[in-house]
Structure 1
Amino acid sequence: MAAQKGKDLLVKLDADGSGTFTTVAGLRTRALAFNARSVDVTNADSAGRWRELLEGAGVRSASISGRGIFRDQVSDASIRQVFFDGAIKNWQVVIPDFGTVEGPFQITALEFAGEHDGEVTFDMSLESAGALTFAAL
């Protein structure tokens, strides 16, 4: 696979539950991280006192983060409303030449910043709130 443009990694929100995803406008950086907590089953009989983990156990989660500038009143208003409602909505992350990850997420942080000689920026963090699906492109 050849190198991909970072701008092609898209974060999309289904604000009204219709199944129609709208790209979050103005994002300059975005990231998707998968996590899996391990379950340690090490005991006195563990070979050489090496840690042992229980396969297939533990909690899986994903997080999305993004930073950008507000550019689109519709998606800006949707993000703010979803955050202040504490709502869990379906989100989609499109990873170019790889696939699409989709599922329920909650916005856990929404931050605004501005320099005296620059634009207002925002940062957002989302945490998975249920099972995610992956579809290869």
Structure 2
Amino acid sequence: MVAQKGKDLLLKAHDGAGFVTVAGLRSKRLSFNAQTVDVTDAESVGRWRELLGGAGVQRAALSGAGLFKDQASDALVRGAFFAGDILAWQVVIPDFGTVSGPFQVTALEYAGSHDGELTFEIALESAGALSFAVL
């Protein structure tokens, strides 16, 4: 994969009719994590830690920061946060693929100074199985 433009990484939320891009995000991040299950015992070779494959909990976290540029995406994100709704989300990674699945908005922060624009930060946590589709 060659270098890609960061602006091409898109965060989309399902609004009931289809996926819409969350407008105004200047930075976005997707991370995957998996817990490990340690099964080391007194007979482990050389006393090296042993892990049980496929047994840990997997999770993904999404985050972004920027400014809302349209009222529809602002209302969708804000509504999902305050209702505690789990929505279908997509992350489009250019020349790689699309990660899709249920996420819950776990943080929503607004900030602004008297001589600047209103900005926001959003954090989402996976709430079920995710899928990956190659572009």
**Both proteins in one fold, TM over 0.5:** yes
Task: Map Cα deviations across residues 39-78 of structure 1 (whole Å, 9 max, x no partner).
Answer: 0001111111111100111100101000001111111111
> Which residue of 2 is the match for residue 134 of structure 1?
132
- Aligned partner of 1:12: which letter? K
Q: Does 1:119 align with 2:130?
A: no
Question: Which whole-Å CA distance do the structure 1 matches of 2:22 and 2:67 have between them?
Answer: 10
AA partner of residue 2 (structure 1): V
Residue identity opposite 1:44 in structure 2: A
Return the alpha-carbon distance in structure 1 between the equivalents of residues 113 and 42 of structure 2.
57
How do 1:1-137 residues align onto structure 2 when only pairs under 5 Å count?
1-16=1-16, 18=17, 20-137=18-135
In 1, Cα distance between equivalents of 2:20 and 2:86: 16
**TM-score computed with the length of structure 2 as normaliser:** 0.97
Distance in 1 (CA, whole Å) between partners of 2:117 and 2:50 is 50
State the Cα distance separating 1:119 from its structure 2 match: 1.1
Q: Which runs of 4+ in 1 moved over 4 A?
A: none
Aligned equivalents of 1:102, 1:57: Cα separation in 2: 22
User: What TM-score, normalized to structure 1?
Assistant: 0.96
Cα deviation, 1:59-102, whole Å, max 9, x if unaligned, reads: 00101000001111111111100111100000000000000000
Q: CA deviation at 1:116?
A: 2.6
Amino acid of the residue matched to residue 52 of structure 1?
E
Q: What is the identity, as a one-letter code, of the residue corresponding to 2:15? A: A
Can you give the 5+ residue segments of structure 1 that lack an aligned partner in the other structure?
Answer: none
Q: CA–CA distance in 2 between the matches of 1:115 and 1:96?
A: 33
Q: How many residues align?
A: 135
- Cα distance in 1 for residues equivalent to 2:62 and 2:47: 37
Q: How many angstroms does 1:117 deviate by?
A: 2.2
RMSD over equivalenced CA pairs, Å: 0.8
Identity of aligned residues (%): 67
> For structure 1, which segment, 53-62 or 112-121, has the greater mean C-alpha deviation from structure 2 after superposition?
112-121
